[in-house]
Amino acid sequence: MKITNKLNLPYGLVKAVSPEPHNKPGEISATTLIQGTKQVILTQRHWDELEDDVSERIWAVFGTAVHALLETEGETDFTEIELKQKVSNITVTGRLDNYDMATGTICDYKNTSVYKIKASWQTGSDGKPYGFPEWRTQGLIYAWLLQKNGPPATKARFIALLKDYSNTEAERDHLYPQSPVYVYEFNVTKEALEEIESFIRKKVFQYELFTSSEDNMIPECSAEERWQKKDVYAVKKEGRKSAVKLFDTKEEADEKIAELGKGHYLEVRKGESMKCKNCCLCSAFCNFCQENQNLVSNEDTDNVSKAA
C-alpha cells in the first residue's frame, strides 16, 4: 500500500501508520471474514496499488497505543492470544486482546465514535435495535476458535473507547452515551457457535471459489457488509426544494401524498453504502462502487418519520 503524506507529517508517524497486508498467504483472519468477499479479494489483489494518506490513518496509532497499555496480564487472564484453525485449504486466524480463563470471557478493545454507539440504538423495521452485528460476529468467531483449541468461552465483551466523547453533550442530551467507555457484551451459546461455524465455512468457501475470478465477476458485498443505509421516501411539493416530510416506507409516503393532494409527489432516495463511500480502500477497483457513485445523499434524514 502506498502511504501519502499530504500534510508533511513526521517520518515516525508515517512509519507508525504504514500497514502490512492483514493476512498471510493461505490465512484469513476473524476480522477479515466479517468483510465482504469482494472487498477481501480486491484488497489482497491490488494491495500494492492501494493508496491512503497518513492523516486518514491517524486513529490507528491510538488503537495500537491502547492495546499496548492493556497488555498487562492478571492471575487468570491472558492477552494477545493467537489462535488458528484449518477450514478446507484456508487457515482461519484470530488474535484475542484478552481472555479470562476463570470466567471464560473474551474481551476486545475498540476505539470508536459516539455515532456508532448511537446508531446501534436505532431500531430497524422489525422494531429491534441494530446493535453491533460485526462485533457480535467477531466475538463468536473468537469463541469458535477457542472451542477448537481447547479453552471454553462463555461470554464476549467489547469495551469501546469513545474517541470523540463530549461531557457537555452527555449533560445536555440524555440519549447521548453517559460515559466515554461503552461496554457491549453477550453470552456465547451452543446454538450461536453452531451458527458461526456455518458462517465461517460459507465465507471460506466463497473466498476459495472467487479468489481467481476477474474483479468484476466477484459478487458484490451484501448490503450489511457495505453498511448500506435504508431507502428514504420523500414527499415533495412542486416548486419546493426540500422535502415536506420523509418516511421509512413507501406506503406511509403514498398515504401522505393522498392526504396533501395535488402538487405533491414521491421521491425515492436510495440508501448510500457508507463503507463504499468512506471506508473501503479498494473502491477504485470495485465495479459496484464505480457504478453506484451517484447515490443520492439523504441530506435531511433528521426529518424522517420513524415507523412505530
Grid cell in block for residue 155: 461470554
Cα angle 150, 152, 156; round to 5:
135
Grid cell in block for residue 241: 426544494
Indicate whether 68 and 154 sit together in one domain: yes
Indicate whether 9 and 148 sit together in one domain: yes
Domain C-terminal end among 217, 244, 259: 217
In a domain, 66, yes or no: yes
Q: Does residue 170 have a pLDDT over 50? A: yes
Give the Cα separation of 285 and 176 in Å (integer): 38
Grid cell in block for residue 175: 440519549
Write the DSSP string, 33-62.
HTS-HHHHHHHHHTGGG-EEEGGGGHHHHH
b/e 259-275 (16+ beta carbons within 10 angstroms → b)? eeeeebeeeebbbbbeb
Give the Cα separation of 43 and 281 in Å (integer): 7
Indicate whether 193 and 274 sit together in one domain: no
Per the structure, how many domains does the chain have? 2
Q: Does residue 302 have a pLDDT over 50? A: no
Q: Does residue 237 have a pLDDT over 90? A: yes
Spatial contact of 94 and 29, defined as CB atoms under 8 Å apart? yes
Please report how the helices 190-210 and 37-45 are oriented relative to each other, as an axis angle in degrees rounded to 10: 50
In a domain, 227, yes or no: no
Indicate whether 130 and 251 sit together in one domain: no
In a domain, 131, yes or no: yes
Amino acid at the residue 53: D
Domain C-terminal end among 166, 193, 217: 217
Cβ–Cβ contacts within 10 Å for residue 10, how many?
A: 10
Domain C-terminal end among 217, 252, 276: 217
Entry pTM: 0.84
Indicate whether 19 and 90 sit together in one domain: yes
Question: Which ranges of 56-113 would DSSP assign to H, the alpha helix?
Answer: 58-69
**Helix (H), strand (E) at residue 80:** strand 77-87
In a domain, 269, yes or no: yes
Indicate whether 51 and 160 sit together in one domain: yes
In a domain, 14, yes or no: yes
Indicate whether 48 and 6 sit together in one domain: yes
Give the Cα separation of 203 and 33 in Å (integer): 7
Indicate whether 189 and 299 sit together in one domain: no
CATH at 155: 3.90.320.10
**Containing structural domain, residue 63:** 2-217
By CB atoms closer than 10 A (0-12, 13-18, 19+), residue 252 is: middle
Spatial contact of 191 and 240, defined as CB atoms under 8 Å apart? no
Q: Does residue 207 have a pLDDT over 90? A: yes
Give the Cα separation of 252 and 85 in Å (integer): 49
Reported as a single tens digit per residue, the pLDDT across 106-136 is 999 999 999 999 988 887 666 788 899 999 9
Give the Cα separation of 282 and 267 in Å (integer): 31
Q: Does residue 303 have a pLDDT over 60? A: no
Indicate whether 251 and 295 sit together in one domain: yes
Q: Does residue 44 have a pLDDT over 90? A: yes
Give the pLDDT confidence score for residue 130 in this predicted structure: 84
Indicate whether 31 and 111 sit together in one domain: yes
Contacts of 33 (CB under 8 A, 6+ apart): 92, 137, 141, 199, 200, 203, 204
Indicate whether 208 and 292 sit together in one domain: no
Spatial contact of 80 and 95, defined as CB atoms under 8 Å apart? yes
CA–centroid distance for 117 within its chain: 12
Average pLDDT (219-227) is 90
Per-residue pLDDT band for 177 (boundaries 50, 70, 90) equals very high
DSSP 8-class letter at 305:
E
Is 144 strand, coil or helix? helix
In a domain, 224, yes or no: no
First to last CA, the chain: 47
In a domain, 186, yes or no: yes
b/e 171-193 (16+ beta carbons within 10 angstroms → b)? eeeeebbeeeebebebebeeebb
Average pLDDT (89-100) is 95
Indicate whether 252 and 116 sit together in one domain: no
In a domain, 225, yes or no: no
Is 21 strand, coil or helix? coil
